[in-house]
């Protein structure tokens, strides 16, 4: 039983916001996950949809597995390096601006194998 993986690295959105989207599809079948992600009204839904579609394509092309048999075993969003800016504020202070990024990984597995 092989696990099919796909990654997106340095996604320019915080891991906390991406986790709100990926929690919707964890444990679902691949087709159902793609349908859910198509209609989620969050900015993170589009890159996660592309990631799951890429993993499904990897499974079909490289392993010969039907997309009907796949389900999402594991999907994680981890923090990536944060870009740090500063904006100057009153009284000689500065306000830090943190541009957070995330690494997202999805693992698919064939059902019943």
pLDDT in the model for residue 111: 85
Q: Cβ neighbours of residue 67 under 8 Å, at least 6 residues apart?
A: 30, 31, 56, 59, 60
Query: How confident is residue 107, by pLDDT bands cut at 50, 70 and 90?
Result: very high
pLDDT of residue 2: 80
**At residue 113, does pLDDT exceed 70?**
no
In terms of CATH, what superfamily is 3-110?
A: Ribosomal protein L22/L17 (3.90.470.10)
Mean pLDDT, residues 11-34 taken together = 96
What DSSP character marks residue 29? Answer: B
| Gap between the Cα atoms of 77 and 24, Å rounded | 13
Question: pLDDT at position 1, please?
Answer: 65
Tokens 């839904």 correspond to what residue? 45
Q: What would the two tokens of residue 46 be?
A: 């589009």
State the pLDDT at residue 34. 96
Share of the chain above pLDDT 70, in %: 98
What are the tokens at 24? 């919707």
CA separation for the pair 25, 73 (Å, rounded): 10
pTM of the complete model: 0.90
């Amino acid at each position: 039983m092989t696990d099919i993986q796909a990654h997106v690295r340095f996604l320019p959105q915080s891991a906390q916001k991406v986790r709100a989207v990926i929690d919707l599809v964890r444990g679902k079948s691949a087709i159902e996950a793609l349908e859910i992600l198509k209609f989620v009204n969050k900015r993170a839904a589009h890159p996660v949809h592309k990631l799951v579609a890429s993993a499904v394509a990897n499974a079909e092309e490289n392993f010969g597995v039907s997309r009907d048999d796949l389900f999402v075993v594991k999907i994680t969003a981890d923090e990536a390096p944060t870009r740090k800016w500063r904006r100057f504020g009153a009284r000689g202070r500065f306000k830090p601006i943190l541009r957070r990024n995330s690494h997202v990984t999805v693992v698919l597995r064939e059902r019943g194998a």
